[in-house]
Amino acid sequence: MSAPSTRGETRLVPDRLQGRAERLLKSWEALLLAVAIAIFALNVWSSPYFLDPWNLSDATFNFTEKGLIAFALALVIVSGEIDLSVAAILALSSTLMGLAMSHGAGTPEIVAIGLLTGLACGAINGMLVSGLGLPSIVVTIGTMSLFRGIAFIILGDKAFTGYPVDFAWFGQGYVWWVFSFELLLFVVAAILFAVLLHATSFGRMVYAIGNNAVAAQFSGIRVERVKFLLFLLSGLMSGLAAVCLTSRLGSTRPSIATGWELEAVTMAVLGGINILGGSGRIGGVVLAALIMGMVTFGFGLLNVPGIVMSIFVGLLLILVIALPKLIGRLGRAKRKA
Amino acid sequence: MTHLSFPASSPGPAADMPADRPVIRLAGIAKTFPGVRALGGVELSLHAGSVTALIGENGAGKSTLVKILTGIYQPDEGHIEMDGAPVRFPTTMDAARAGVTAIHQETVLFDELSVAENIFLGHQPRNRFGLIDWARMNADARALLDRIGARMDPAMRLRDLGIANRHLVAIARALSIDARVVIMDEPTAALSHKEIGELYDLVERLKAEGKAILFISHKFDEIFRIADRYTVFRDGEMVGAGLLAETSQNDLVRLMVGRDVGQVFPKVAADIGEPVLTVAGYCHPTEFEDIGFELRRGEILGFYGLIGAGRSEVMQALFGVTRPSKGAVRIDGEVAVIRTPAEAVARGIVYVPEDRGRQGAITAMPIVSNVTLPSLSRTSRRGFIRMAEEFALARDYTARLDLRAAALDQPVGTLSGGNQQKVVIAKWLATRPKVIILDEPTKGIDIGSKAAVHAFMSELAGQGLSVIMVSSEIPEIMGMSDRVIVMREGRIAGRFDREGLTPEMLVRAAAGIGEAA
């Protein structure tokens, strides 16, 4: 085919306007990195124990498991949906792992049951959301109660303890020096999810759905299938987090990981994932996980009570989200003046 | 509210009104949008107790005029007079206060509010504490509803009402502001036969109350039934006005379309080959019935009809968005069952929707991602996207359509309507389809982009692509199509060849006017 001959000249539209460096500098991630460095410096200045390698290594446990959940949740949120049942899935997975252990299951079986429970719970969410077309916020608030309720029925006020010794490695093992298995898992998961969201056609479809599900469907994308897969993935990552947390604690109570769904959502939103769907990057979620982990740890070293900690995280979230708007408003006001 | 006491069945004062003294008069009104002159030198007078029909093709400037009358748009030139004195409507509230009100097809109503709240929203009766006087509001609402013969409880939620009753609520709302000028924009488009009869009665009653009514319609039978005067628009200009008693349907049709359409649109003669798409006995429970046609290689098949005739619904069923209840679709002679857009794309059928912003483009995403979205399997290897190939594909197809943009990573939403449409078309051409369905492809886009889209359509057909073009613009249909199918009320109302086709034939088939009329 040749170009239409309505006009004499054919102009080529350039690929990009901004250079790569300029885009990076203006990004949300740059802002988060600055915040992360500031908090790191503050921690170093306020506590002499902060820079100790083993202390820092301990600090990573504050965000590794939540981070695993937040990565998958980030994809769900980018697609315009939400999964509030992640912590309940973790609790149910952990409970069923304990149940299997109490019936004599070995480490491989326990891990498999944890992951499969996560997948099954994710499949239930996915079927309700994409099969029946129900709003995910309602569905996952429902399954949040359902899954944790089952855990409570199984366990009551008791706890499962006495996991096999080799099972402890997932949550307590170190790969090399101060680097734990969980940290390695966090890094690998971060890379995999970043690749999935930013470099594959699946990731592109997730963005398209989150921006305009109707137009995505009209573009030949199987919207419901993509959403189902995302809930499946979210369930699987909650199951994986259940393996890590159960292994690290060495016990299961039905109240395990209470409130983690909100921390995971906070991590994703702080990381620049648009809560309305359609935009955000995994790099931002990684930085948000680091920030939240460092804040928790720093406050812990200073013996700050947990409630102050949650006040701080709440303020941080509002501040970081309000900041770009405030800067934009200031900029406009200056231009007018 | 003094007008509530007006007896509904009083004899019409229309006869006593001096005919030369209009309630509202528009003089020399002009309005230009970037690239488009929507209205120029428009004259329009509305008289008390009289129904004026406003007639014109889609895009003739009728809606722009309504928006100027109701304060949504400001005219660039000209002025509006009420009772001989110049007035201005800087906001919709000013128009409402002056007594001008419009009932649109999609009048904004609120589902979760009651009927009475919808009627009085913004001017609710208050009690002495400044709170809403519910008893009075419900009573006033009931009086208004009684007056227009609507039997419904003012306390009902709007969402529990059907479309016809919603219409009555909209009319009651219009009356609640004591309107003197009532604009009805295709009020019968969504109504059943019985409801239409009731609406006519209502118009008669409003007329008897001395309202000046502007009635916009495409249906000639209804215009002749209820209107007294007519004004015809073509391409944003008034081309005729007078008393309906002194004209005929033929004269009105001629005024509406009167233009030499042969030269405007460049359809290149193409070799038309074997059938590519065959549709037979295609039915939908509510939208269309017994649709059958054949589309050949290299052919442009035009679909003409009034809005709501079911054309888009047929196309969306072919594209797998909605499910037909019956019928067979064959592509290249093979039976094809298409249940999702993804299956349609895989079969080589693509659809450029009319609603660009909602269904066509993902406006927040860059041009390049929009263009490659249905072709991701081609611009990726094992699921991994190749950026260089994405940009190459996007560059190729946007250049062919002469896209005007700053860069390919620019969000589509920042482009003009015409360039957004080029992105959507480029997206589909990149999938190398067999059949491309274009639904109102040049609606709301500037003349330059229009020419580019037309030239490209013609060129594509010349290269063997089959094109279905749904359009409500007669010149576009006549200029571009090899054959034309006219739909009316969900059925095929006529099939025409390019040779010997006249605009009158299309308008008659679409409006259901017999040859003898």
Rounded Cα–Cα distance for residues A91 and B326 (Å):
49
The predicted pLDDT at position B132 comes to: 86
Nearest to A222 among B340, B379, B404 (CB): B340
The predicted pLDDT at position B317 comes to: 94
| Chain A closest-CA separation from residue B437 CA (Å) | 12
CA of A208: which chain B residue's CA is closest? B362
**When comparing pLDDT for A329 and B274, which is higher?**
B274
Chain B, window 341-380: residues with a beta carbon less than 8 angstroms from a chain A beta carbon: 341-342, 344-346, 351, 353, 358-365, 367-369, 373-374, 376-377, 379-380
| Chain A closest-CA separation from residue B367 CA (Å) | 10
CB contact under 8 A, A220 and B342: yes
In chain B, what residues touch A4 (CB-CB under 8 Å)?
Answer: 400-402, 452, 455-456, 459
The predicted pLDDT at position B434 comes to: 93
Helices assigned H by DSSP within A61-106: 64-78, 86-102
The predicted pLDDT at position B15 comes to: 42
In chain A, what residues touch B393 (CB-CB under 8 Å)?
Answer: none
Q: Which residues contact A142 (CB under 8 A, 6 or more apart)?
A: none
The predicted pLDDT at position A143 comes to: 97
Q: What is the average pLDDT score of chain B?
A: 84
CB contact under 8 A, A16 and B361: no
Rounded Cα–Cα distance for residues B12 and B15 (Å):
7
CA of A210: which chain B residue's CA is closest? B362
In order of start, what are the domains of chain A with their CATH numbers? 48-318 (1.10.3470.10)
**When comparing pLDDT for B20 and A244, which is higher?**
A244
| Chain A closest-CA separation from residue B254 CA (Å) | 32
A187-228 pLDDT tens trace = 999 999 999 999 999 999 999 999 999 999 999 999 999 999
The predicted pLDDT at position B36 comes to: 65
Rounded Cα–Cα distance for residues A110 and A310 (Å):
33
B308-320 pLDDT tens trace = 788 999 999 999 9
* Helix (H), strand (E) counts: chain A: 15, 4
In chain A, what residues touch B371 (CB-CB under 8 Å)?
Answer: none
User: Sorting pLDDT into bands at 50, 70 and 90, what band is A7?
Assistant: very low
Token pair of B250, please? 């033929």
The predicted pLDDT at position B190 comes to: 64
The predicted pLDDT at position A11 comes to: 60
| Chain B closest-CA separation from residue A70 CA (Å) | 23
Q: What is the mean pLDDT of residues A151-171?
A: 91
B356-387 pLDDT tens trace = 888 999 999 999 999 999 999 888 899 999 99
| Chain B closest-CA separation from residue A286 CA (Å) | 22
B209-223 pLDDT tens trace = 888 999 988 777 788
Rounded Cα–Cα distance for residues A59 and A51 (Å):
11
The predicted pLDDT at position B14 comes to: 41
Q: Where are the domains of chain B?
A: 2-99+178-257, 113-177, 259-348+433-508, 355-432
Whether the CA torsion B376, B381, B384, B386 is positive or negative: it is negative
How large a percentage of chain B has pLDDT more than 90?
30
In chain A, what residues touch B410 (CB-CB under 8 Å)?
Answer: 17
Q: How far is CA B405 from CA A17, A190, B401, in A?
A: 11, 35, 12
pLDDT of residue A138 exceeding 90, the answer is yes
| Helix-, strand-, coil-residue percentages of chain B, each rounded to 5 | 35, 25, 40
pLDDT of residue B10 exceeding 50, the answer is no
The predicted pLDDT at position B355 comes to: 83
According to the CATH classification, is domain B259-348+433-508 in 3.40.50.300? yes
| Chain B closest-CA separation from residue A203 CA (Å) | 9
pLDDT of residue A8 exceeding 50, the answer is no
List phi, psi (to 5°) of A304.
-80, 135
The predicted pLDDT at position B394 comes to: 93
Nearest to B360 among A10, A203, A218 (CB): A218
Q: What is the mean pLDDT of residues B76-94?
A: 88
How large a percentage of chain B has pLDDT more than 70?
90
Rounded Cα–Cα distance for residues B422 and B456 (Å):
10
List phi, psi (to 5°) of B23.
-70, -45
In chain A, what residues touch B461 (CB-CB under 8 Å)?
Answer: none
Nearest to A17 among B346, B360, B406 (CB): B406
User: Sorting pLDDT into bands at 50, 70 and 90, what band is B508?
Assistant: confident
Q: What is the mean pLDDT of residues B250-263?
A: 66
In chain B, what residues touch A195 (CB-CB under 8 Å)?
Answer: 384
Evaluate whether B2-99+178-257 and B259-348+433-508 have a shared fold.
yes
User: Sorting pLDDT into bands at 50, 70 and 90, what band is A167?
Assistant: very high
A219 has a chain B CB within 8 A of its CB: yes
pLDDT of residue A4 exceeding 60, the answer is no
The predicted pLDDT at position B447 comes to: 62
CB contact under 8 A, A212 and B353: no
A225 has a chain B CB within 8 A of its CB: no
∠ CA A332-A333-A337, rounded to 5°: 120
Q: How far is CA B165 from CA B58, B98, B140, B156, B307, in A?
A: 27, 26, 17, 11, 21
pLDDT of residue B192 exceeding 70, the answer is no
Q: What is the mean pLDDT of residues B416-438?
A: 90
CB contact under 8 A, A215 and B321: no
B384 has a chain A CB within 8 A of its CB: yes
CA of A23: which chain B residue's CA is closest? B409
User: Sorting pLDDT into bands at 50, 70 and 90, what band is A6?
Assistant: very low
Q: In CATH, what is the architecture of B2-99+178-257?
A: 3-Layer(aba) Sandwich (3.40)
In chain A, what residues touch B380 (CB-CB under 8 Å)?
Answer: 200-201
B388 has a chain A CB within 8 A of its CB: no
CA of B402: which chain A residue's CA is closest? A10
How large a percentage of chain A has pLDDT more than 70?
94
Residue from A5, A26, A219 to probe the interface with B (highest B Cβ count within 10 Å): A219
A54 has a chain B CB within 8 A of its CB: no
A202 has a chain B CB within 8 A of its CB: yes
A93-133 pLDDT tens trace = 999 999 999 998 899 999 999 999 999 999 999 999 999 99
For the entire predicted model, the pTM comes to 0.76
∠ CA B233-B38-B180, rounded to 5°: 65
Considering A75-84, B28-37, B134-143, the range whose residues carry the highest mean pLDDT is: A75-84
| Chain B closest-CA separation from residue A16 CA (Å) | 5
The predicted pLDDT at position A264 comes to: 93
Note whether B300 and B461 are within 8 A (CB).
yes
The predicted pLDDT at position B405 comes to: 83
Q: What is the average pLDDT score of chain A?
A: 89
B102-132 pLDDT tens trace = 887 556 678 888 999 988 887 788 888 888 8
User: Sorting pLDDT into bands at 50, 70 and 90, what band is B59?
Assistant: low
Nearest to B402 among A6, A201, A215 (CB): A6
Rounded Cα–Cα distance for residues B466 and A55 (Å):
69
A252-279 pLDDT tens trace = 999 999 989 988 999 999 899 998 999 9
| Chain A closest-CA separation from residue B416 CA (Å) | 15
CB contact under 8 A, A13 and B373: no
Note whether B158 and B115 are within 8 A (CB).
yes
B64-74 pLDDT tens trace = 888 899 888 89
pLDDT of residue B13 exceeding 70, the answer is no
Rounded Cα–Cα distance for residues B370 and B363 (Å):
8
CB contact under 8 A, B376 and A3: no
A75-84, A280-289, B138-147, B259-268, range with the lowest pLDDT: B259-268
A165 has a chain B CB within 8 A of its CB: no
